[in-house]
Amino acid sequence: MPCRFAVLAGGIGASRFLQGLIRAVPAADITVVGNTGDDFELHGLSVSPDLDTVTYTLAGWADPERGWGIAGDTFRCLETLGKFTGQTWFQLGDRDLATHIYRSSLLRGGFPLSEVTARIVRALGVQSSILPMSDQRVRTWIETPAERLDFQTYFVKHKAQDEIRGIEFVGADNATPAPGVLEVIAAAEAVILAPSNPIISIGPILAVPGVREALAETSAQVAAVTPIVAGRALKGPAARMMEALGHESSALGVARIYRDFLDVLILDEQDRHLTPSIENLGVRTVVTNTIMSDLARKESLARAVLEAVAR
Ligand code: FO1
């Protein structure tokens, strides 16, 4: 089945949106292109948090409160690891560890991340396809006044509290899109940028050479759902990050980041007043309720996006 909808995705915000989208279209019609800039190595294991968050969500396994990890998981292995290493700040659950052991052993065996991800997705019965943005290593690093931090140290260990001076996607310049990424962007009916952080979730995907150009060239409608509502991020440090890097933290700021390829921005009722400035950029706007507080709202947001990209 050719992909009808390509979704560029970070972790939790994207997963919530995808929960709505799979109620509106068959899951098999969706190909997710996931951020791997957050990936890192811990306890000798290869961790791909955003790919796993999307996979577990689409498998119906995700923890509904945290958004990441597996619902009902326990942390007995981590407790014991903590006795050896003193490192428990990144909570890998017991069942989640099985995914990490499997992924790490296949990667060590020479399989590319795209193949490993496809195997995990299939094994968990997920009907959508999930592609990493690249098979090559790309890592997000955060420059703070005191030091340079890898993404998970900044985000989880330091609780995203440090002031940000700069962000770098190390390895992006020499990376190539994973097999299928450019093809789905070119061939999809619509490409949707999920309501994920435009800087650190969608940013690494756009930094892979060829992706931004493919978005600008595709004949598909390209839509984005802004994760910034009334100047604030729905979740996480997106607003602070945008400001720190010289962007306006608003739906208009999001539209400016994507303006070279974006056809339509879906923004919240609270930001209706921004529509003239966004349309001045040459980006159409659709105003709706974007707050995904329950499953019905997630579905109605997905339907609003589908309507916006329908021709
Ligand atoms: N986020 C946290 O805030 N604390 C954690 O201990 C944590 C563990 C974790 C384990 C597996 C996984 O796939 C994700 C996990 N996350 C955790 C989420 C992750 O760090 C971030 O949400 C993403 O990288 C940002 O999208």
In this structure, how many other beta carbons lie within 10 angstroms of the beta carbon of residue 296? 11
Protein residue closest via CA to atom 3 of ligand 1: 156
Nearest Cα neighbor of 122 from 28, 22, 17 is: 28
Protein residue closest via CA to atom 19 of ligand 1: 49
Protein residue closest via CA to atom 8 of ligand 1: 91
State if residue 52 touches ligand 1 by the CB under 6 angstroms criterion.
yes
Euclidean distance between CA atoms 176 and 131, whole angstroms: 13
Cα angle for residues 114, 151, 162 (degrees, 5° grid): 165
- Give yes or no for residue 278 having a pLDDT over 80: yes
Higher pLDDT, 235 or 275: 275
With a pLDDT cut of 70, the percent of the chain lying above it is 99
* pLDDT confidence tier of residue 273, bands split at 50, 70 and 90: very high
Distances (CA, A) of 183 to 19, 105, 210, 214: 24, 28, 11, 9
- Give the pLDDT confidence of 123-154 residue by residue, as tens digits: 999 999 999 999 999 999 999 999 999 999 99
- Give yes or no for residue 3 having a pLDDT over 90: no
Q: State the pLDDT at residue 279.
A: 98
Q: State the pLDDT at residue 136.
A: 98
- Give yes or no for residue 61 having a pLDDT over 60: yes
In this structure, how many other beta carbons lie within 10 angstroms of the beta carbon of residue 300? 17
Distance (angstroms) between ligand 1 centre and the Cα of 156 equals 7
Helices 94-108/76-85 angle, 10° precision: 70
Long-range contacts from 22-28, C-beta under 8 angstroms, 24+ separation: 22/58, 22/128, 23/295, 23/298, 23/299, 23/302, 24/299, 24/302, 24/303, 24/306, 25/302, 25/306, 26/127, 27/58, 27/126, 27/127, 27/128, 28/1, 28/127, 28/128
Reading the block at residue 11, the tokens are: 């972790």
Sign of the CA dihedral 256, 258, 260, 264? negative
Q: State the pLDDT at residue 235.
A: 81
Q: State the pLDDT at residue 2.
A: 64
Backbone angles phi, psi at 232, to 5 degrees: -120, 155
* pLDDT confidence tier of residue 89, bands split at 50, 70 and 90: very high
0.85 exceeded by the pTM?
yes
State if residue 91 touches ligand 1 by the CB under 6 angstroms criterion.
yes
Full DSSP string of 48-62:
-HHHHHHHHHHHT-B
Mean pLDDT of the chain: 97
- Give the pLDDT confidence of 116-129 residue by residue, as tens digits: 999 999 999 999 99
Euclidean distance between CA atoms 29 and 309, whole angstroms: 15
Q: Which atom of ligand 1 is nearest to the CA of 49?
A: 13
Reading the block at residue 271, the tokens are: 């930001």
45, 156, 157, best to mutate for ligand 1 pocket (most atoms within 8 Å of CB): 156
Q: Which atom of ligand 1 is nearest to the CA of 197?
A: 26
- Give the pLDDT confidence of 171-228 residue by residue, as tens digits: 999 999 999 999 999 999 999 999 999 999 999 999 999 999 999 999 999 999 999 9
The 8-class DSSP code of residue 163 comes to P
Q: State the pLDDT at residue 236.
A: 86
What is the SS3 assignment for 294?
coil
Q: Which atom of ligand 1 is nearest to the CA of 159?
A: 3
